[in-house]
Amino acid sequence: MPAKDFYHDTVCTALIKDGWTITNDPFKLKVGGRSVYVDLGAKKLFAAEKQGRKIAVEIKSFLDPSLVSELEKALGQYDLYSLIMEDEDPERVLYLAIAQTVFAGFFSE
Give the structural domain span for 14.
Answer: 8-103
In a domain, 59, yes or no: yes
Residue 3 lies in a domain: no
Residues 6 or more apart whose Cβ sits within 8 Å of residue 77: 58
Please say if the pLDDT value at position 6 is more than 90. Answer: no
Total domains in the chain come to: 1
Q: Is residue 88 part of a domain?
A: yes
pTM listed for this prediction: 0.84
Q: Is residue 12 part of a domain?
A: yes
Residue 76 lies in a domain: yes
79 domain-assigned: yes
Three-state DSSP at 89 gives: coil
Residue 1 resides in a domain: no
In this structure, is residue 109 part of a structural domain? no
10-38 residue pLDDT tens: 999 999 998 899 999 999 999 889 999 99
For position 89, which CATH number holds? 3.40.1350.10
